[in-house]
Structure 1
């Protein structure tokens, strides 16, 4: 609308310029011509003044137009700035929500840890442990100092689950049937009470065999014998083993001398029970069958039945 107004102004100015100039009346007087020239110069000055004013008005219109355009640019910049602010607000809000979620997760984890600690405390009060080991110390067992010293030298401090549950009953002379995974400490679970039994009964070689441990394989029998040897380090009782593949006569000679704790495989044990007259076992106090399931799986059932018949009740 503003440029249109400027156009109208220019048109008005053109009309003024086209007005006819009245010729001055002829006069012989120089003064009249001078007056006329002065008047004519005045009209031209007025016209130039109007032209300058019109140009100034046009410049004002252009400046206002430029100002309007700059204003529009500023409005666009303001809109973009507002959009950026909205995005920033959303981003901050999202970060705040994530921070809250993180705090919630941390609180949840902390609570779970506290619950876990409480459960462990309860288990500890009840004497229960986690995994293979229990919370019960080996030093808490009511055993002789001789056996306790040997256990310390073997670097055992805590009883395993099977040991903590079976040893106290075996020390009291009760029959126990236990099941445990390989490496859970079941060998010590039956050897410690067996050695303590021989110790308290003051067994000597002349008393013969007081404990027999039956193992399904030669390898397991040798392994059990080695553990028993460490446990009996400070005891006076004798130890030996009879297994298939060994020299039978040397085993018979050993049995004749008196073996208080004997480790054996089923077939070789039955052989000595039937054929070695110097084998003294009438005072047998304890029979241990290690890995009974494997013994039955390897078709030793008949051998075991014959062994039971020959052993004292």
Structure 2
């Protein structure tokens, strides 16, 4: 089981805070630093100093880290056109020496769209657009140098594109898709995803959705074991109950609720819960770190949980 760090900067974080977390995660041996791609806070709090752009952040981190992988959970397809997004991700992949991963989804948070003047079509159209974005992005990256790319899309037609620049990773950076949708989500994942991720769901729901995606892979002749399987869970670890309670209070949550719905408790409790997800096929866990100034938290999990996995 690989552990990765996942942050939610729209809740209130500067670039310098994210850099400190990414460097601490790299030093502690985590596999990746991921961030959400949102432009508006959720729930209580001011959200100050305001949102940071995901791919601008990752470009900076690409030059200020050396080993850790970098990516998004999840970039909203509503935010960016597929051609410019393919260019940006390829450039950040170059800047990082081939350490980038693209998590992408249809977009779901209506308020952030209205807050920043971003169109938010109905859910069916959002999934249609996501499917075309995946076709365009992968098509641009996988087109051989010297050849051109065309795509007869309804929303994103492409004609005679030189399909440049190319990412460092060959044939392309890994693509992550996820979510609990029962039909279109598994089909899109089977066709395009290198990794399938489930955020904040139970072990039982994980097993059921992984089974749907495996069935979708089999239906198109893809071996399910060519997919990576992962979960994202909020983390709240302490050496004892008092430390767990302190960390839960710092993020406005209750220890009992976090133990039920997240990854919370002592290191031994975390290892046990991680084992339950591993038993249904999860291979990676993205630890949602909500208190970005508590780097001791990150180091505790690395020291006392990671070696037992």
Asked which structure has the greater RCO (Cα within 8 Å, sep 6+), the reply is 2
TM-score (norm 2): 0.28
Name the one with the larger strand percent: 2
Name the one with the larger helix percent: 1
The structure having more radius of gyration, on CA atoms, is 1
